[in-house]
Amino acid sequence: MPFDIEWVRSRFPDRRIDWHSSIGSTMTEASRLAASGCEFGSVAGAEEQTAGQGRYGRAWHSEAGSGLYVSIVLPKPEHPSVVPMVTLALGLAAVEAILKATDLACDLRWPNDLLLESKKCGGILTQLEGPAIIAGIGINVNQSEFPPELSPLATSLRIASGRQHSRERLLVELLPSIDNFCALLDSEGREPILRMFSCASSYVYGRRVEVDLGESVLHGTTAGLNESGFLILRGDDGSENVIVAGGVRPCS
């Protein structure tokens, strides 16, 4: 079913929502919108991405008509140290929106993987663009299968629940959730987001994980978030490493 963008627009009459049938990446389009001075809250979305971007330069599989692929132009927090917290706030917003729209309860894997049944059903990518943050959110909604190289790691809301879900409803829940979690971060600071993320994620405390840092891999047990929202990893010798960025995977 083609995305009913007019229904979504009717729910947000004051918001700019650009919708593309096919695009390289909504990140590029939203960066262009931000550079041209669009209002915060503006959205670039697409039915299909031909060059969808994931973290660490990876590709984001963006099959036509199945997923939700959106990038939202948000204001950059005044203090640079708060910027990593926006990613955590976006994860909480995505979990809330998926729950409201589908009744599915996702786990969060620090910093920004959305998981169902321990497989990835969505991801978040943030980029700075002048006074804006470009918040890219990809949710696997109605994919019935994935390419062989992704299928051990990826799932969709449809695969996890055995039924199709409305991508429009998901976007209608997502936009106010993002507004609310970002407003909370702005008004109350980091503490509520840190607390909520720690409750919502099974990865924050006591998980055996390996962390791919690019040039090396660390092993250890997760031991909470520090005040900046970075993951604390306790090694078997009791040493603590603060993970600022890295791919976290479960291990035994």
Helices (H), 22-82: 26-35
Residue 66 as a binder of ligand BTN (CB under 6 A): the answer is no
Q: Specify the DSSP element, H or E, that contains 174.
A: helix 167-188
CA angle 196, 53, 22 (to 5 degrees): 115
Classify 116 as helix, strand or coil.
Answer: strand
123 close to 113: Cβ distance less than 8 angstroms:
yes
Residues with Cβ within 8 Å of 83's Cβ and at least 6 positions away in sequence, in order, are 76, 77, 126, 128, 133
Q: Binding mask 93-132 vs ligand BTN (x if CB under 6 A, - otherwise)?
A: --------------------x---------xxx-------
Residue 65 as a binder of ligand BTN (CB under 6 A): the answer is no
Residue 52 as a binder of ligand BTN (CB under 6 A): the answer is yes
Binding-site member from 3, 17, 18, 27 for ligand BTN (CB under 6 A): 27
Residue 54 as a binder of ligand BTN (CB under 6 A): the answer is yes
Binding-site member from 41, 91, 111, 136 for ligand BTN (CB under 6 A): 136
> Minimum distance from CB of 52 to ligand BTN (Å)?
4
Residue 220 as a binder of ligand BTN (CB under 6 A): the answer is no
Please, how many CA atoms are within 13 Å of residue 5, restricted to the half-sphere of its CB? Answer: 17
Residues 67-86 that bind ligand BTN (CB under 6 A): 69-71
Contacting positions for ligand BTN (CB under 6 A): 25-27, 49, 52-55, 58, 60, 69-71, 113, 123-125, 136-138
